[in-house]
Structure 1
Amino acid sequence: MGDELQKKPLVLDVDGTFLRTDILFECFWSALGKDPIRAIKASFLNLKKPARLKAELAQIATLRTDLLPVEPEVSELVAQAKADGREVILASASHQPLVEQLARDHDLSPRVFASDGQTNLKGERKASALVAAFGEQGFDYAGNAPVDRAIWSMADHAIVVGDDASARQIEGRGQVITRVEGGWQMADVMRSFRPHQWVKNVLLLLPMIAAHAFDVPTVLAAFLGIVAFSAAASSIYLVNDLLDLEADRLHATKKNRPFASGAVPIQIGMLCFVLLSIIALGVAAVLSWAFLGVVAFYMALSLAYSLKLKRMRWIDIAVLASLYTLRVVAGAAATGIYVSGYLLVFIFPVFLALGCVKRLTELTLATSDERLPGRGYGRPDRPDLLNVAALGVVAALVAFFLYSFTEQAIGLYKTRWLIWVAEIPLAWWLIRMVSLGWHGKQDYDPIVFAMKDKRGIGLILMTLSIMFYAAGLWQQWFGAIG
């Protein structure tokens, strides 16, 4: 009799139980990346028809079920059950063809229970289907949500993933139970915001620095602008990561990102996107309508980049440079400081060059000659990327030189020839960044790398120090003799 009980099938829910993700939301973001209009239309038309929604999104999406992250502890239970000769069956509310493919990917039973486009196999419906197939207490069941309580009550052994309230209820009625921790951590949610990227928003300080406006109201406005832009940027990073799930899972290091690895549920990412967007636009509206317009445009352009433009060769680099340049415009709008056209003409080619450096680094560190997933660049593009980066460096230095002849520069800098001297460490920094990217000796993000590169920081500080001296600021601040 005991041996017979051992042969009872192990039935697994899929979303949040066997997998550390949800197939419906995986399909939605895959479909959104492939055909945004069709995906959004299918979602709105079938909001109250979950089975139909899952079927339509599955038709649009190109989902690699073999890449979906598996819950490690549940995977161990599966391995043990298979070693004991037990049948391991997937029972899910997800679309049946995808569940069948997932079962094949992991060498599980070809017999699955799933939604078919008409019936959403969840809760009571799933419980009835399993009882009809195996009888009451004729199977063990692993699930992760209160909706699974109807199924656990019919199972012999309950395996509960992350749902403490349900686990306590099951234990209260004396049923055999196995707990699996599951769940997610706030630290991983914060990691998905990419707070290390917020350092890029110091570019909002550039108009203030260029104008030598260091009064308290200006500094405070610039600080609030950085807060708004950081929230806006993080909201877009969330969208970008959700659209890049497959590409990230194929990447050597990006596969460890919170959503790609399943450490944070996709639903949490979507909620955080909404909250961060509200914070960004709310703070921006407090500062000024002009700044609100810049933030809204930045978010719209970033979304377009995530959905489509980042997959278009060369256009993606131009858009990246534009997004960085918008930070300077945003700093001006937040503080009300006039920005010289020469400053923007200088900033754009700098970030055009750094955009090329980003792709050069990725290609140099790539493990094969195949095109980068979701990007369209391959190793043969390295010389062209180097040439465009070099053009960006030259254009930036020329714009910097021409700025020294403008009325604004003449008014701000007492010793104007020192501006030309400041070009030397600036040129050194730019050329060094391109060289490091070409040789694969920096991080995948050149801006983040630049903020940690001690030698590079030294060159930037040298440039600023020379310019501050040329403007007489050191003498003003510290009483030095000019």
Structure 2
Amino acid sequence: MANERAADLPLAVDLDGALVRADLLRAASLAALRRPLSALLGLSEPLRSAKAEVKRRIAGATAADPAPLAYDPDIVAWLKDERARGRRIVLVGAADQAEVEAVAAELGVFDAACGTGADADPSGERRLGLIRSLIGDRFAFLGGETVDTPAFRAAEQVVLVGAGTRRERRLRPGQSVERRFDPPRPGLAVWLRAMRLRHWTKNVLVFVAPVLALKEAGLAPLGAALLLFLAFGLLASATYLVNDLLDIAADRQHPEKRHRPIAAGLIPPGAAVGMAAALLGGAALIALALPLSAGLALVAYLAITLCYSFWLKRMPIVDTFVLASLFTLRVLAGGLLLPAGVSAWLLSFSLLFFLGLAIVKRHVELARVVAAGGTGVAARGYTARDLPLLLAAGVASSFSAIIIFFLYLVEEQYPSALYRRPEMLWGLMPVILLWSLRVWHLTVHGRMNEDPVLFALKDGFSRWLGVVCGVLLLMAWL
């Protein structure tokens, strides 16, 4: 009978880290980092005043729909059952009052909701006081965060979210636990998905220069290129995690990106930060084994990628140049492993070729939104009017890359003795042009549904063209 009476106690539910598998304030703060500088400067004044006002200002700048939040489905189902039994349930959280009320309205199982007010911050002892003011001194509490310790100790009954001795220590000796919820921990498959290992294939570009100079430089640069490949992969995965942390609020609104591990609440933000730091540390250790110039290329890649994640991806046209430069930087880094360096013609070709592919990616995103009835991609700064511009610029970049390749052959490869039969390289030009035009054909017909680089790896016709290119290179060497 004791447990039955305890279960009838009014229940206070913690929002952050319990009902929702993330801290809404932290997510809003990360999203605020993407705001224009003037908006961020607007936070400076409340930072000198009440913490609650800071939260309200951040929430106002990054307001999100509560529907796609990463709710714990087991907790939500249990709360609905308790509500159906007539139990009084209130929601408390460290987020802004408006956000907490929006969540409560979305789920429809709470009698009251309390977030940050103008003069109160519901965390620790103050949160306990607010709970008592809402439902009295005798209550049950559902939570799992460290800040909830006073509420845990004061509650007659607890619903514990998360396993581990650290959470158990917050309870009073002999305190009764009404129920336990243990959200699944991210396994290896979840982490690998968050790290986007399939995008590591883009790092094969570091082998371009060493392979082209194989006859002249030998096999030694290929070993260093392998280390460089791994370092770029670790950096890329780290920056993907950072990007997903910054995009967590926007990704939850996206029909596809909301399934990403961080947005879906499968990976806690704190764990993602720790993993990103570990990946950066691994890349730094590898860089120590590489030539200084290649290490500096890795630093440049990290700096450009972070700037892209924070700001540059919101600048139309500029974002495509940044993406193209990141591909070209991989080619450059591989060339820095060679005594003679890398060809300026090769770098020019790479920049224009990958600029065309970056524009393909933006055209696909924008066309999809417009086809669905939208007017543009607000997060990228593009509107429907940009579709003709993107098409013209992308095709022009692809053709310009072919012209650069022609000059590369005439000005550099024919005068050199690197290839025994450099005339075989002419066969690469129609192959590259054919593939580029096919990509644009699929794009304008709405059949290019992903990153064109990843498309090339899965498309059978593209793979056959790659084999043709490999045969032509081999015949030029032999």
TM-score range, shorter-chain basis? Answer: 0.7 to 0.9
| Unmatched segments (≥5 aa) in structure 1 | 473-482
Determine whether 1:329 maps to 2:332: yes
3-state SS of paired residue (1:232) = helix
1:289–1:110 distance in 2 versus 1, CA, 3 Å: farther
Report if the CA contact (8 A) 1:10-1:81 is conserved. no
* 1:415 maps onto 2:415 in alignment: no
> Match of 2:105?
104
Give the Cα–Cα distance (whole angstroms) in 1 for the partners of residues 243 and 168 of structure 2: 38
**Structure 1 residue 440 and structure 2 residue 446: aligned?**
yes
Task: Report how many residues are paired.
Answer: 471
Residue in 1 aligned with 2:23? 22
Aligned-partner residue type, residue 139 of structure 1: F
Q: Summarize the alignment of residues 269-418 of structure 1 with structure 2, pairs less than 5 Å apart.
A: 269-366=272-369, 368-370=372-374, 371-410=376-415, 411-418=417-424
Contact 2:6 2:157 in 1 (8 A): no
1:192 aligned residue: 194
C-alpha distance in structure 2 between counterparts of 1:171 and 1:437, whole Å:
63
SS of corresponding position for 1:287: coil
- Could you list the per-position Cα deviations for residues 51-94 of structure 1 after superposition, in whole angstroms to 9, with x for gaps in the alignment? 56545543554444444221111111222233233333111233
1:142 aligns with 2:118: no
Amino acid in structure 2 at the alignment position of 1:468: L
Structure 2, unmatched stretches of 5+, are none
Q: Normalising to structure 2: TM-score of the pair?
A: 0.88
**Cα contact 1:198–1:230 (8 A) shared by 2:** yes
1:154 corresponds in structure 2 to 154
Distance 1:193 1:45, change over 3 A: farther
Matched, 1:228 2:234: no
Deviation at 1:7, TM superposition (A): 5.7
Following the alignment from structure 1 to structure 2, what is the Cα–Cα distance between the partners of residues 281 and 39?
31
SS at match of 1:86: coil
Distance 2:182 2:337 in 1: 46
Q: Deviations over 1:420-462 (max 9, x none)?
A: 1222222222222222233333442111221222220110121
Displacement of 1:251 after TM fit? Answer: 2.2
AA aligned to 2:131 is L
CA contact (8 A) 1:350 1:392 kept: yes
SS in 2 for 1:130: helix
Is the 8 Å Cα contact of residues 7 and 178 (structure 2) preserved in structure 1? no
Q: Answer yes or no: is the 8 Å Cα contact 2:93–2:122 preserved in 1.
A: yes
| CA distance in 2: counterparts of 1:50 and 1:66, whole angstroms | 26
1:388 partner amino acid: A
User: Residue 93 of structure 1 aligns to a residue in which SS?
Assistant: strand
Deviation (angstroms), 1:471: 1.9
Q: CA RMSD in A?
A: 3.1
Q: Give the Cα–Cα distance (whole angstroms) in 1 for the partners of residues 45 and 219 of structure 2.
A: 48
CA contact (8 A) 1:160 1:178 kept: yes
Q: Residue 206 of structure 1 corresponds to which residue in structure 2?
A: 208
Partners of 1:77 and 1:433 lie apart in 2 by 50
Preserved CA contact (<8 Å) 1:419 1:467: yes
Q: Does the CA contact (< 8 Å) of 1:354 and 1:434 recur in 2? A: no
Distance 1:53 1:280, change over 3 A: farther
- The CA distance in 1 between the partners of 2:77 and 2:390, in whole Å, is 46
Residue 458 and residue 67 in structure 1: after superposition, are their counterparts in 2 closer, same or farther (change >3 A)?
Answer: same
Q: CA deviation at 1:276?
A: 2.2
Letter paired with 1:377: Y
Kept in 2: contact 1:123–1:150 (CA 8 A): yes
- Residue matched to 1:85: 86
Identity %: 30
User: Please, what TM-score do these two structures have when normalized by structure 1?
Assistant: 0.87
**How far has the Cα of 1:123 moved from its partner?**
3.2
- Give the Cα separation in 2 of the matches to 1:396 and 1:374: 29
Counterpart residue identity of residue 84, structure 2: A
Residue 478 of structure 1 corresponds to none
Cα distance in 1 between the residues matched to 2:423 and 2:142: 74
Pairs within 5 Å for 1:55-134: 55=56, 57-58=58-59, 60-109=61-110, 111-116=112-117, 119-134=120-135
Corresponding residue of 1:453: 459
Q: 1:113 to 1:163 in 2, by over 3 A?
A: farther
Partner Cα separation in structure 2 for residue 47 and residue 324 of structure 1: 43
Q: CA deviation at 1:379?
A: 4.4
Deviation at 1:351, TM superposition (A): 0.6
Separation in structure 1 between the aligned mates of residue 461 and residue 241 of structure 2, nearest angstrom: 32
CA contact (8 A) 1:33 1:307 kept: yes
Q: Distance in 2 between matches of 1:218 and 1:50?
A: 55
CA–CA distance in structure 1, aligned partners of residues 52 and 20 of structure 2: 19
1:114: how far off?
A: 3.3
Instruction: State the distance in 2 between where 1:168 and 1:244 align.
Output: 33
Indicate how the Cα distance of structure 1 residues 193 and 180 shifts in structure 2: closer, same or farther if over 3 A, else same. Answer: same
Q: For 1:462, what is the secondary structure of its paired residue?
A: helix
Q: Is the 8 A contact 1:31 1:62 kept in 2?
A: no
1:295-321 CA-to-partner distances (Å, cap 9, x unmatched) read 222222212222222122211111111
Q: Does 1:427 align with 2:433?
A: yes
| 1:285/1:291 contact within 8 Å kept | no
> Residues 389 and 157 from structure 1, CA distance in 2 versus in 1: closer, same or farther, beyond 3 angstroms?
same
Query: Could you tell which deviates more after superposition, 209-218 or 415-424?
Result: 209-218
Deviates more, 1:381-390 or 1:463-472: 381-390
Distance 1:406 1:341 in 2: 11
1:240, 1:43 → 2: CA distance? 24
* Mapped partners of 1:91, 1:246: distance in 2: 20
Residues 35 and 365 of structure 1, relative CA distance in 2, 3 Å threshold: closer
Q: Distance in 2 between matches of 1:334 and 1:240?
A: 29
Cα displacement (A) at 1:395? 0.9
Q: Secondary structure at the match of 2:293?
A: helix
Instruction: Give the aligned partner of residue 480 of structure 1.
Output: none
Q: Distance in 2 between matches of 1:189 and 1:267?
A: 14
Q: Determine helix, strand or coil for the equivalent of 1:413.
A: coil
Q: Secondary structure at the match of 2:377?
A: coil
- AA at the equivalent of 2:157: H
> Secondary structure in 2 aligned to 1:112?
strand
User: In 2, are the aligned partners of 1:312 and 1:376 still within 8 Å (CA)?
Assistant: yes
Q: Deviations over 1:102-141 (max 9, x none)?
A: 32333354633334466543234323432454344x3222
